[in-house]
Homo-oligomer: A and B are copies of this chain.
Amino acid sequence: MGHGNGRQGTDLPRGVFAPVATTFDAAGDLDLSAFRQNMESYAESPLDGVVLLGSNGEFALLDEAEKIAVVEAGIEAVAGRRTVMVGTGAESTRATIALTRRAAAAGADYALVVTPHYYAPRYDHAAYVAHYHAVADASPIPVLIYVMTAYTGVDLAPSLVADIAAHPNVVGIKDSGGNAPRVAEVIARCGPDFAVLAGSASFLYPALCLGATGGVVALGNVSPDLCADLQRLTLAAEHAAARDLQLRLIAPNAAVTSRFGVPGLKVAMDSVGLRGGPPRAPHQPLGERDADEVRRVLREAEIGSIAVG
């Protein structure tokens, strides 16, 4: 496997990233003060970095100006302390390029570009390659592909990932599907100079076993320690402990992702001393019963307070 893509020497993203929540006040406006408090906690945590404007950051529910406000506030809060990745993907190639440049100018380290999806049935292999290569050409910072099939309906074949990865400014992929053969095939095709990041704490351990360099995991918002532990144990080849921790994280991870989504994540954040607050509509706040269930699951997994100060 000769990977003559010119990436040798580029710093690949490594470690555990939290795709941080965007915070809103009771009126539904951005609450940057709460956001900065959360960011301060993360900057003091064992997390390697944060992702701004990810799916858990409700990026799809933000308008253009709000996105820039979040990027600027987030980078300012952790700059120099943690790696910052920004979700800059939009439906159009030109809007993706514009936001990517803006994020780079604000100091982002990496751009995470979700697959365009609205017209996905009309996009073929060539269209996706052209999109990502145009973004990578225009981007001052390294680009990662973001595959989030549950929300986009789009899954990229490993052969397509490999063709996109031929561009020297495309340095990795975040895959949120958890399909192990898919992860393995991407790693087999793209080689060690291409970063594969697990998109959920629910498969961080097996992904690392296969050669992933880290993860972007919603649960990192709630328990940076345990997510970082999972990576540390795996790299230290403490497989039995890593496996046990992986199994322990399944239920709390589901509570803040597939079971209750961003509303569940925000309840969990509130319960560990961070500023979760209300999600933005059409997201609905959890009812009391579901919120109790989130807290019960966290307790059972022994996930406690993380707030600093």
Contact = CB atoms under 8 A, between A and B. Distances in A.
Interface of A: 28, 55, 60-64, 91-95, 116, 118-124, 126-128, 130-131, 134, 150-153, 177-185, 187-188, 200, 202-203, 205-207, 209-211, 237, 239, 243, 246-248, 250-251, 253-254, 258, 260-263, 280-284
Given A64-B63, A178-B180, A203-B180, A151 B121 contact: yes
A122 B261 contact: yes
30 contacts: A55-B118, A60-B91, A63-B95, A64-B64, A92-B282, A93-B281, A94-B281, A119-B261, A121-B151, A121-B258, A122-B260, A122-B263, A124-B284, A130-B281, A130-B284, A131-B281, A178-B181, A181-B202, A181-B203, A181-B250, A184-B202, A184-B203, A184-B206, A185-B202, A187-B247, A188-B248, A206-B207, A206-B209, A237-B239, A239-B239
B205 A209 contact: yes
A183 B153 CA distance: 22
Given A179-B180, A246-B184, A247-B184, A92 B280 contact: yes
Number of identical monomers bound together in the oligomeric complex: 4
Given A210-B206, A281-B131, A282-B131, A119 B151 contact: yes
Nearest to A94: B28
Instruction: Give the top 10 A-B pairs by smallest Cβ distance, nearest first.
Output: A122-B261, A181-B202, A206-B206, A180-B203, A61-B92, A93-B281, A60-B118, A188-B247, A131-B282, A60-B91
A153 B151 CA distance: 9
Nearest to A92: B61
B153 A180 contact: no
A282 B184 contact: no
Contacts of A124: 284
B151 A180 contact: no
A156 to B, nearest CB: 13
B205 A210 contact: yes
Nearest to A209: B209
Contact of A243 (B130, B152, B211): B211
Nearest to A242: B209
A68 to B, nearest CB: 13
